[in-house]
Structure 1
């Protein structure tokens, strides 16, 4: 890959909800409530539409505070049976909202709300994904560590479970989900802030936030 060309998804991006143990456990007491009345048996997914894609280094316009969602994306290759799978750093931004069962598009799918790391890495070069920890810094201050070992469904399990009911195409991306802090919230940022997401072996994902025009 030409390092001067920043990576962006070439297919559909699907995000997974409730795929980190801390958040799943916080929500577990409510999972027996209506309308579902039971924990989810299959992965709960949402879509990040193409208007959300932004390259590393972008200035993303926001209307106020946003939640920072550091995650990894599995990038589908031409032949999964031959291990053609890559991994990318992502920042899955969202406006703060209360419910994760049916996240409205207007919260997650604003322009530029999926900031992508500058390049992907073949999964064969990454090694054990579960050993990775993502670090999130806002204005150079460490605000979160995302431990991939705490996934409810590991990367391979999530991919297999999704493939049971839908076929991912080459270029599609399946994100592993975003983690919360101990209190159930996510790190928040606002216009003027600088965000950096790092993981061992990956080029850093950096971007800024700017105020939306009135």
Structure 2
């Protein structure tokens, strides 16, 4: 049986250095006029979840979608509030994810209509135990569209590594057992993300994780 979350799934913006650099000009503009000091989170609710191998329907009004390849942390029963535990010890497993969204210009408070369409989160078939995954800062993944490599992601380039991200999120909210927190989605050199269209097959792979595959299809009336 394919893995599906039992808790809330949170995405994270601006957690790769390349993404931060690409969007730096926007950060000096209103309403905030400065780079965020805390992690920027958003929710991918259950209506967005698609299992490995599933066909993901794309509305006719959407010519292409952004591929947000990432690895996410699945929280264990260990409380982040327990001072005897380090933040990294609260991770039970890691899982591949494909955080799809409609292309949009602003990083401020990502609108639900761009990121939370039905099926717009591909989820890896298997959760890799943290004890087997190794150091998250050494993770790498590869994005292929129709078999062609479109992106490679090196998690050494995180702004906040897994431990720091968990600690900083824990400063303002509680993550519970079964909740899922993405490490973030990197950009290409141009500052955008890989784009896919109806008919495309998206494969995201990482050593030890296997491959997460989904095919985009046209939404039926």
Task: State TM-score, norm by structure 1.
Answer: 0.95
In the alignment, is residue 146 of structure 1 matched against residue 142 of structure 2? no
How far is 1:42 from its partner? 0.4
Among residues 40, 45, 49, which one is paired with 1:44 in the alignment?
40
Tell me what 1:30 maps to.
26
Distance 1:121 1:78 in 2: 16
Among residues 111, 115, 120, which one is paired with 1:113 in the alignment?
120
Structure 2 unmatched ranges of 5 or more: 80-84
Distance 1:132 1:37 in 2: 33
How far is 1:30 from its partner? 2.6
Root-mean-square deviation (CA), in Å? 1.1
Tell me what 1:102 maps to.
109
Q: CA offsets, 1:55-114, max 9 Å, x none?
A: 000000012311000001100111254555210000000011111112110110001111
Q: CA offsets, 1:99-155, max 9 Å, x none?
A: 111211011000111110001111121111111211000000000001111011111
Distance 1:68 1:84 in 2: 25
Distance 2:15 2:114 in 1: 19
In the alignment, is residue 58 of structure 1 matched against residue 57 of structure 2? no
Tell me what 1:89 maps to.
96
8 Å CA contact 2:77, 2:90 repeated in 1: no
Structure 1 pair 98–84 and aligned structure 2 pair: CA distance change class (3 A): closer
Tell me what 2:163 maps to.
156
Among residues 197, 202, 206, which one is paired with 2:213 in the alignment?
206
8 Å CA contact 2:140, 2:153 repeated in 1: yes
Give the 4+ runs in structure 1 shifted more than 6 A.
Answer: none
Tell me what 2:187 maps to.
180
Task: State TM-score, norm by structure 2.
Answer: 0.92
Among residues 134, 139, 162, which one is paired with 2:141 in the alignment?
134
The size of the alignment, in residue pairs, is 210
How far is 1:203 from its partner? 2.0
Tell me what 1:67 maps to.
66
